[in-house]
Structure 1
């Protein structure tokens, strides 16, 4: 009797908080029309094809688009020529309590115009969370990399020879997870999800909270303001809470146990994970990491008196504590922040002092880093944090 070397399963994602997987080019104001509580996104191919013989319209449209005139209003142009923008739109999204619409929208990644969650995004989030579960010896490798980069920066008189901060953890990553050929993650295979309709997506408003002098401020471009109404708004397409997506996942035994070539993650993990099934072992690890991360964020937001976000995280913690052995929570996508994507959750003031010397492009405050959080607003009020999903492996 032969055994499959992996478990081939279906995963189901349930979106718990607005989730944004950012596409490439931002959608500019001339590409959408606001009508009531909806944004209609223009299909220019259809618009031009259906109005090809309206030469003055084509001229005016071309002139407005080519000059980049900030006052160019496509809704007004369409109205002058009695063109119904709704008939020329490729999709519409509801504005989910957006109070201030900016000149551009962060697009959600799409395939043939349809919303989905790439398998690479889910796998990348899993990898980021697994790094937060590493035992102390492996975390030390990241610290060693940072110390090495710090010394190299101090010894370099020429700023052009400074260390690229993006590469600070490269050696540690290779020592822990090896080359792509030898990495345990080659034994974790995740497909793209299925598609969700635009009815399951919306447009969200995000603002940046910044801790200045121990007080909550809101990033407003050149200043940080007490009043969030004066803050910069990031507008983004996202999948709504409650939406469900499915795909396939294969967790090979070698991902956990390793083999002659690959050292599995089991021997690297410093959290309590006792399950014997590969999928359940992975779920155990991710639940432990998420619980620690959520509790740290509850402590952070409690300190700065953000009761709404504390409440949102408490809901997530309640969900996590009720999960079955084949389920886990994870944060994914755009605006989820430094702590979600790095091992920086374990760094202290000394580490950040070194990082501040190495990374000359970012503003790093060793006493408190990161100082900022991106939060989703609704109707002008702090509402929730982006990117939390529940994953069930069936």
Structure 2
């Protein structure tokens, strides 16, 4: 059988601020990398800054002393003052770019978005991973051949058999072993690089849901992060290779992106409606809940050539695992879900998860992170 590659151009639109981290080693420090002025951050070319100090021991000592004060939580070191007063230069002399910031990051480090040649992009691996999770959850919940795998999990939970539960690999049962994984027939490219003007820095917090013990939501330390702003669009491609033998998945066997999208949308709707159930009645989450109400309407009326899914940082455990398969009536009553959490994760109480990552403004959660919409382009 001759193998062919069928490729589709896909438009990706950001529905809520998106963060995909470049790694812990890529963070911006207020003491060397940026200066905040009003609603804008000026990123500093540290190479130029080092050149300006080169050969001047007094300048280098002053800079190092300031950094040590920061490390020891002593008197604050202001990079802008060092540049304008100690160096006698303008901040603009060292500027790389301006990035809008929403809120006051004070002296926080800023997590950077993954980038190539300085421009952010959406990794194809992030898209493929999110799609793969959706297909796995759908296989467990809605496919006849996934029933035995879900039933094995159910039996182990009922028996309290933690060892058997930990040994299970539903992902391999669904897709095959590493060397024969059917998802190798699906390829997703990195997106076209996004102009840096579409970057913004926002405040992400883990915001706790109220409980019987805690009537008020409590916010964790904010994680200031570079994000792709609302409504930004880019382009990537989805390709499928003709399998040499049937995979058991129609979308792969017939190279049908629309069939794949229908699976993704089914699971995204499940996730969305679960969030609405969990958030019901929590006044402080009004805007956050409003986002999901709007998202639900989009998913209920979505077209065959469109898909909505969630990427990047801030996803809940349900988005990153088979959780939607277990926290589901198809699996069993809520007590079974609770037993599953106790056995695998030593978690005793519901609701789980009890926090949400949110974009926060004025200490109010306004939206979840990372929801995007894919649309098949008419031009291949």
Query: What TM-score does the superposition give when structure 1 sets the normalisation length?
Result: 0.80
Q: 1:186 Cα shift?
A: 0.4
Q: 1:253 Cα shift?
A: 4.5
Distance, in Å, in 2 between the alignment partners of 1:382 and 1:10 is 34
> 1:293-312 to 2 correspondence within 5 Å?
293-305=271-283, 306-312=285-291
Q: 1:247 Cα shift?
A: 1.7
> 1:373-392 to 2 correspondence within 5 Å?
373-392=356-375
- 2:149 pairs, out of 135, 141, 149, with 141
The answer to whether the 8 Å contact 1:150/1:355 transfers is no
Distance, in Å, in 2 between the alignment partners of 1:253 and 1:4 is 5
Count of aligned residue pairs for this structure pair = 356
1:176–1:218: structure 2 CA closer, same or farther, 3 Å change rule? same
The answer to whether the 8 Å contact 2:12/2:233 transfers is yes
1:88–1:352: structure 2 CA closer, same or farther, 3 Å change rule? farther
> 1:38-57 to 2 correspondence within 5 Å?
38-57=40-59
The answer to whether the 8 Å contact 1:28/1:104 transfers is yes
Q: 1:100 Cα shift?
A: 4.8
Q: 1:53 Cα shift?
A: 4.2
For the residue of structure 2 that corresponds to 1:376, the secondary structure is: strand
1:52-97, Cα deviation, whole Å (9 max, x unpaired)? 244322222234446734333322222222232333233331112x
The answer to whether the 8 Å contact 1:209/1:217 transfers is no
- 1:208 pairs, out of 190, 206, 209, with 206
- Equivalent residue number for residue 61 of structure 2: 59
- Equivalent residue number for residue 281 of structure 1: 259
1:66–1:249: structure 2 CA closer, same or farther, 3 Å change rule? farther
- Equivalent residue number for residue 245 of structure 1: 234
1:121-164, Cα deviation, whole Å (9 max, x unpaired)? 111111122222114463663674583896356xxxxxxxxx9x
Q: 1:11 Cα shift?
A: 1.4
Distance, in Å, in 2 between the alignment partners of 1:141 and 1:52 is 64
For the residue of structure 1 that corresponds to 2:209, the secondary structure is: strand
For the residue of structure 2 that corresponds to 1:79, the secondary structure is: helix
1:33–1:151: structure 2 CA closer, same or farther, 3 Å change rule? same
Cα RMSD for the two superposed structures: 3.0
Distance, in Å, in 1 between the alignment partners of 2:325 and 2:296 is 20
1:77–1:189: structure 2 CA closer, same or farther, 3 Å change rule? same
- 1:352 pairs, out of 338, 350, 360, with 338
Distance, in Å, in 2 between the alignment partners of 1:331 and 1:181 is 28
The answer to whether the 8 Å contact 2:251/2:259 transfers is no
1:273-332, Cα deviation, whole Å (9 max, x unpaired)? xx9651111111111111222122122222434322221112222333443321100010
The answer to whether the 8 Å contact 2:11/2:236 transfers is yes
- 1:86 pairs, out of 85, 92, 96, with 92
**Structure 1 gap segments, 5+ residues each:** 154-162, 221-230, 269-274
Query: What TM-score does the superposition give when structure 2 sets the normalisation length?
Result: 0.83
Distance, in Å, in 2 between the alignment partners of 1:39 and 1:190 is 33
- Equivalent residue number for residue 10 of structure 2: 11
Deviates more, 1:33-42 or 1:16-25: 33-42
Distance, in Å, in 1 between the alignment partners of 2:274 and 2:107 is 32
